[in-house]
Homo-oligomer: A and B are copies of this chain.
Amino acid sequence: MKIAVMGYGTIGSGVVDVLKINHDKIAKAAGEEVSVKYILDLRDFPGDPMEKCVIHDYQTIVNDPEVGVVVETMGGVEPAYTFVKAMLEAGKQVATSNKNLVAAKGAELIRIAREHGVNFQFEASVGGGIPIIRPLNKCLTADEIEEITGILNGTTNYMLTKMTDEGADFDAVLKDAQNKGYAEKDPTADIEGHDPCRKIAILTSMVCGKQVDFEEIHCEGITKITPEDIAYAKAMNRTIKLLASSKKVGNSYSCMVAPYLLPAEHPLCGVNGVFNGIFVHGNVLGDAMFYGSGAGKLPTASAVVADVVDMVKHTNRHIVIDWSEEKMQIVDYKDSRNAFFVRTTSDLADAKRAFGSIEEVPSLVDGEVAFTVGPLSEEDFAAAAEHIHVVNRIRLG
């Protein structure tokens, strides 16, 4: 089987590396040898061992009947979407690691793949190397999935872990993460939660079989988390984690991305550093968790190549993925229910007047009162919070 790799960046070159490192194992698993015929990139790579495979026009791949599987590791919606669509329409199977593409166009590309009797797979788009898309599609089929809650962004988990372990502040750990290459120069997509927001939209779509638009998911990042919040978390025997969550409510789903205070016994509490963890609750399975490297060159490439192996084995055979273009109307953010931890410079009496029943938490900062309240709706919380001066509030997991 000849394949093409579109985008020779970190993940794309990782795919080429994995195919080399595990050549024999992959050939055995796929049932035939898998080799790279083309690498599509804007750049040239003089001196690279794959130099001669590099091309600049995607039509070369479209028009080559020898290429059966195409890997898309370019990132971004365009031109990835145009290229992937053309590949599927030309009867080629596509594996992608591109969460932006999958969140925006996944349902449509699955339909196009089905119409052309080929496959579009995206295991690496969520959780890096952790198998989660295929387990949802192939393993947890006897369950109603009632909750998925994930630590889906390694950068912010690294930062929160470092803040927790070292008491460092946000700016210092961001700089450290950038120096170590964990955070981009422009870290917005990570620290504002846009990255895990796309991923939980993809997972929720897989669970409900309909299109969940990430733009409709309420999304908060970690930029407001301070060393004082971390100190409160420790005093409460909790850990602050940026969670992307999706909970079944009636026939819909309540989705959110935000920092949460997790109790020490929650399985996601042990997910530290750049690792990702995805907690799943099924109505008969109960609790399960999938843990591993959520990013990184080789782990992510491992998932892409596993898709390639699966597709080589399914040449001319469509693998059903139940994700239609029909829209899933998620629960309005205002109606989502959460319990909250609140720090305020107002006094306890004012807090009680505003919220009714609250539970005081010993204050760790002079001039501050701290308490927990709820669960209550986001709307009710916001209305009550107007009556006091809130220093910070973090949801309780």
Contacts and interface: CB of A to CB of B under 8 A. Distances in A.
Copies in the complex: 2
Nearest to A130: B288
A25 B267 contact: no
A308 B142 CA distance: 9
B270 A298 contact: no
A135 B139 contact: yes
Given A135-B131, A309-B141, A299 B284 contact: yes
A320 to B, nearest CB: 8
A306 interface: yes
Contact of A135 (B21, B135, B284, B309): B135
A385 interface: no
A283 interface: yes
Nearest to A312: B141
Interface stretch (A101-109, A173-181, A289-297, A373-381): A289-297
A283 B283 CA distance: 34
Interface residues of A, number: 56
Contacts of A275: 287
Contact of A267 (B29, B283, B291, B306): B291
B270 A282 contact: no
Contacts of A320: 31, 313
Contacts of A112: none
Interface in A299-319: 299, 301-306, 308-310, 313
A150 interface: no
A379 to B, nearest CB: 32
B22 A143 contact: yes
Nearest to A142: B305
A140 interface: yes
A138 interface: yes
A18 interface: yes
A299 B320 CA distance: 25
| A31, A134, A289, A299: most-surrounded residue (chain B CB, <10 A) | A289
Interface string A7-46: 0000000000110011001101111000000000000000
Top 9 A-B residue pairs of the complex, sorted by shortest distance between their CB atoms? A288-B292, A142-B305, A131-B139, A270-B270, A289-B291, A29-B141, A141-B309, A284-B298, A285-B302
Interface of A: 17-18, 21-22, 25-26, 28-31, 123, 129-131, 134-135, 138-144, 265, 267, 269-270, 272, 275, 282-293, 296, 298-299, 301-306, 308-310, 313, 320, 322
5 contacts: A29-B142, A131-B288, A142-B308, A286-B296, A291-B291
